[in-house]
Amino acid sequence: MKIGCEQWGVPNDSDQEIADMKAAILSVSNITSIDARFILAIIMQESVGCVRVITTAWSHANPGLMQSFNGTGTCNGNAANIAIPGVDASAQVWTPCPADRIEQQVLDGTNGTVWGPGLRQDMEIASQNATSDAQAYYRTARIYNGGRFIVSDLSQPCCTTSYVSDIANRLMGWVHAPRNYVCDVWIEGHRVWPLRSFVSLAEDTRSLVLSALGTKIPDEIAMIAMR
């Protein structure tokens, strides 16, 4: 987090801002019943934890730590339209980013906005007919990124095909891994398959691995062979 803002040409997070972000995640997790670790994984995926991340835009604005659905929480008024190269760099940037603005960023992404859903609403959809909590969380990640999920393939229908695998990597501890990293999954001493590819497996087969990932038991699962 202390170097994540450099790519946008704004000051990196301070220790106080990181502490405020942690407090915000725990508070919003308590309000929404979304696991704080999952919120953090989404934040790292969407903004690398930069409290001054720019707003991206396509059909609507995606501001803040979680690139929310047209939310109000942001500490950087500058935007980059996905269809137009370059960044509008004339708007205000807040340094430091106030604690209430940090919490609003997390709240927008997790609890949703008046314009669209957040993780809480996505989880309600993802939990329907899910056979495990882990399965519901990974489906939620796909919905958050692409608006919906396909049972047979969590890399589809859009938008970042590796999104679910990226989140799984982060939840397993590879917080600094670049997106699209492949990690081999080992269960009870046997190599199962590269983590990136399990999202293309049949639902009943994949649910076994997702359930195992959810247990986070080191003796049963080891992430090795980064390649």
pTM, 2 dp: 0.75
Residue 217: the pLDDT is 32
Asked whether the predicted pLDDT for residue 125 surpasses 80, the reply is yes
Report whether 28 contacts 119 (CB < 8 A). Answer: no
Residue 162: the pLDDT is 83
Q: Identify residue 37 by its one-letter amino acid code.
A: R
Backbone angles phi, psi at 190, to 5 degrees: -120, 135
Residue 45: the pLDDT is 92
Residue 177: the pLDDT is 56
Torsion from C-alpha of 215, 219, 221, 225, nearest 10 degrees: 150
**Of 111, 145, 171, which one is at a domain's C-terminal end?**
111
Q: Picking from 14-23, 158-167, 201-210, which range would have the lowest pLDDT averaged per residue?
A: 201-210
Residues 75, 157 share a domain:
no
d(CA 81, CA 73): 18
Nearest Cα residue to 19 out of 1, 3, 37: 1
The total of structural domains in the chain comes to: 2
Residues 103, 11 share a domain:
yes
Residues 140, 94 share a domain:
no
Q: Picking from 8-22, 105-119, 135-149, 204-218, which range would have the lowest pLDDT averaged per residue?
A: 204-218
d(CA 178, CA 158): 19
Residues 131, 214 share a domain:
yes
Tokens representing 25?
């995640």
- The answer to the question of residue 119 being in a domain is no
**Of 111, 139, 156, which one is at a domain's C-terminal end?**
111
Asked whether the predicted pLDDT for residue 62 surpasses 50, the reply is yes
Q: Identify residue 74 by its one-letter amino acid code.
A: T
- ω into residue 98 within 30 of 0, thus cis? no
Residue 116: the pLDDT is 93
Residues 67, 162 share a domain:
no
Residue 54: the pLDDT is 92
Q: Residue 180 belongs to what domain range?
A: 127-224
Average pLDDT value for the chain: 78
Exposure of 3 in the CB half-sphere (CA atoms within 13 A): 1
Asked whether the predicted pLDDT for residue 201 surpasses 50, the reply is no
137-195: per-residue pLDDT in tens?
988 999 998 877 776 667 767 667 788 888 888 888 765 655 554 444 444 444 444 44
Residue 216: the pLDDT is 39
- The answer to the question of residue 29 being in a domain is yes
| DSSP code at position 6 | G
**Of 111, 141, 172, which one is at a domain's C-terminal end?**
111
Report whether 86 contacts 75 (CB < 8 A). Answer: no
Tokens representing 195?
């983590």
**Residues in contact with 50: Cβ distance below 8 Å, sequence separation at least 6, in sequence order:** 1, 4, 5, 8, 10, 12, 13, 65
Residues 14, 87 share a domain:
yes
Tokens representing 44?
């790292």
Q: Picking from 19-23, 36-40, 138-142, 221-225, which range would have the lowest pLDDT averaged per residue?
A: 221-225
- The answer to the question of residue 117 being in a domain is no
